[in-house]
């Protein structure tokens, strides 16, 4: 007997249905435009990698590696992991393709799903999308500021309000080590009040305690963290001051946050996080400098700086703030036909318009004009072409503007020309990413 029980999506993953797509296109387009305008090129990296890659980069004692990875053995017994983040894969690709021989910095952007066995709740999924920027091969403080400015512009383009960029410096590897020791000592004094997880973190990597969200731990951190900035050496302080000066010059607003470390081990120097004032607990994105990562993965000594944003969380804010998101235009023209004699003509009209590179939709199987117009409205089609028996007889068509509902009868010969003109007047020529030759 077959089991008829309904199969549901696994916990923590979600479908992105057609009604949601306008948000997804909108965020992706704005991200791509902001990234490309700042000189980033797209890279597509695999969704799974050797498990070792993440162990060696993200850090064995981070929550991501110790608790949240989707790791499995394939049929050849290779240990693989669904990527929990994008930076490690980009760094691996940089080394694998000898990108250090290209003009530096190499600037890359990506977009795609990440996988973490996280506790599902609002804004926290097991499969979620990240958009990311990576800039490899440049240590100048100006590139930190430039990348953060690109992130700020991305949020601005989306019209997001009350967005704050928090920033901190962990200093050089050595300064970070010193800070870890200083923090370890301060936390040791308050050990009895820390949560059980943090007691463990304190032993393995005290910096991880700074990621803790429990009330008592946060209170302790608020008390002790301002003194952490003192563990920065002069070189680190000087570098950080430069980053802040450049941000001031670029008029990028930021807030200093000495508690900020980010949940991945590879960061040094500048780290930053993007939050919405309405929910500072759930960051929208973040990043930092990772000058040792490429070398750690067997590549040449390569300073680098990156960012990753959470797409679902950005979309949640767009909705919360009721920001204007344009409807998707799936097709340029919808063909409405009435009566059997109109159908062959409708097929001919579709062919002619397709030859003019227009996107056409129709419901040739439907009889009622109301049903067809309703479908055209749902697809946000700007124009419809209506063909009935009369139009077949008179050798013309009716072009209807779906916005102002005006109609014009046009002879067959002029149909394509006038359709194109009307679309152009609406500024709706399909944009292209290809160069013209
Ligand atoms: P991270 O790679 O941990 O620095 O995360 C970068 C961004 O990805 C975060 O600021 C979130 O916006 C997003 N993010 C991280 N984990 C999740 C998750 N489990 N579900 C949804 N978004 C996430």
Q: How far is the CA of 328 from the centre of ligand 1 (A)?
A: 27
CA 54 vs. chain centroid, Å, equals: 20
Under 8 Å between Cβ of 41 and 109: yes
Split at pLDDT 50, 70, 90, the class of 435 is low
Question: Per-residue pLDDT for 16 more than 80?
Answer: yes
Mean pLDDT within 45-55: 96
> Which atom from ligand 1 is nearest to the alpha carbon of 64?
3
Tell me the sheet residues that pair with 112. Answer: 130
Ligand 1 binding residues, C-beta < 6 A: 85, 116, 118, 123-125, 128, 130, 262-263, 283-286, 308-310, 312-313
Nearest residue (CA) to ligand 1, atom 21: 124
Nearest to 270 by CA among 296, 297, 247: 247
- In this prediction the pTM is 0.88
Check the annotation: does 403 bind a ligand.
Answer: no
Q: Which atom of ligand 1 is nearest to the CA of 118?
A: 19
Instruction: Give the closest residue (by CA) to ligand 1 atom 9.
Output: 285
| Confidence (pLDDT) at 227 | 67
Closest Cα to atom 14 of ligand 1:
310
Instruction: List, for residues 329-347, the tens digit of each pLDDT value.
Output: 888 999 999 988 899 999 9
Mutational test site, ligand 1, from 261, 313, 318, max ligand atoms within 8 Å of CB: 313
Mean pLDDT across the stretch 121-141? Answer: 97
Report helix, strand or coil for 331: coil
Q: Which domains does the chain have, with CATH numbers?
A: 18-172+233-320 (3.30.930.10), 333-425 (3.40.50.800)
The Cα 363–Cα 371 span in angstroms is: 9
Decide if pLDDT at 103 tops 80. Answer: yes
Known binding residue 130? Answer is yes
Closest C-alpha to ligand 1, atom 11: 310
Q: Under 8 Å CB-to-CB from 190, ≥6 apart: which residues?
A: 220, 224
Q: How far is CA 31 from CA 86, 151, 158, 324, in A?
A: 16, 9, 9, 16
- Calculate how far, in angstroms, residue 309's C-alpha sits from the geometric centre of ligand 1: 7
Three-state DSSP class for 411? strand
Q: Relative to the CA of 130, which ligand 1 atom is closest? A: 8
DSSP designation for 16: -
E strands, 183-303, are 255-256, 268-276, 285-289
Q: How far is the CA of 70 from the centre of ligand 1 (A)?
A: 16
**Contact assessment for residue 311 and residue 129, using Cβ atoms and an 8 Å cutoff:** yes
Stretch 293-299: mean pLDDT, rounded? 94
Mean pLDDT of the region 1-26: 91
Of all protein residues, whose CA lies closest to atom 18 belonging to ligand 1? 124
266 is in an annotated binding site: yes
Distance 95 CA to ligand 1 centre (A): 25
Q: How far is the CA of 311 from the centre of ligand 1 (A)?
A: 9
What confidence category does residue 2 fall into, taking pLDDT thresholds of 50, 70 and 90?
low
């Amino acid at each position: 007997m077959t089991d008829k029980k309904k199969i549901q999506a696994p916990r923590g993953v979600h479908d992105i249905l057609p009604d949601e797509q306008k948000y997804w296109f909108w965020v992706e387009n704005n991200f791509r435009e902001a990234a490309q305008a700042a000189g980033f090129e797209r890279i597509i990296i695999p969704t799974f990698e050797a498990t070792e890659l993440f162990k060696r980069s993200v850090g064995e004692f981070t929550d991501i590696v110790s608790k949240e990875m989707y790791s499995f053995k394939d049929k050849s017994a290779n240990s693989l992991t669904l990527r929990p983040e994008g930076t490690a894969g980009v760094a691996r690709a940089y080394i694998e393709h000898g990108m250090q021989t290209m003009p530096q910095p190499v600037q890359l952007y990506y977009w795609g799903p990440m996988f973490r066995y996280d506790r599902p709740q609002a804004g926290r999924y097991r499969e979620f999308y990240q958009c990311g920027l990576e800039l490899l091969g440049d240590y100048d403080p100006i590139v930190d500021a430039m990348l953060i400015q690109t992130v700020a512009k991305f949020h601005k383009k989306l019209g997001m309000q009350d967005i704050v960029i928090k920033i901190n410096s962990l200093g050089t590897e050595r300064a970070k080590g010193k800070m870890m020791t200083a923090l370890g000592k301060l936390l040791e004094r308050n050990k009895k009040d820390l949560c059980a997880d943090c007691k463990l973190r304190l032993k393995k990597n005290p910096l991880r305690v700074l990621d803790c969200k429990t009330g008592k731990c946060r209170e302790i951190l608020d008390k002790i963290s301002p003194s952490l900035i003192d563990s920065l050496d002069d070189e680190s302080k000087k570098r950080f001051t430069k980053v802040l000066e450049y941000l001031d010059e670029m008029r990028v607003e930021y807030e200093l946050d000495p508690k900020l470390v980010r949940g991945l081990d590879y960061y040094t120097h500048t780290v930053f996080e993007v939050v919405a004032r309405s929910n500072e607990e759930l960051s929208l994105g973040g990043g930092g400098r990772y000058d040792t990562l490429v070398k750690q993965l067997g590549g040449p000594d390569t300073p680098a700086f990156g960012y990753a944003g959470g797409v679902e969380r950005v979309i949640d804010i767009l909705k919360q703030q009721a920001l204007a998101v344009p409807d998707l235009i799936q097709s340029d023209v919808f063909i409405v036909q009435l009566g059997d004699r109109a159908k062959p003509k409708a097929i001919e009209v579709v062919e002619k318009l397709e030859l003019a590179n227009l996107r056409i939709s129709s419901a040739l199987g439907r009889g009622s004009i109301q049903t067809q117009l309703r479908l055209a409205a749902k697809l946000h089609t700007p124009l419809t072409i209506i063909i009935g028996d009369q139009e077949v007889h008179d050798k013309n068509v009716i072009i209807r503007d779906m916005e102002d509902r005006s109609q014009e009868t046009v002879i067959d010969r002029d149909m394509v020309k006038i359709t194109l003109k009307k679309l152009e007047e609406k500024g709706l020529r399909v944009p292209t990413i290809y160069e013209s030759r």
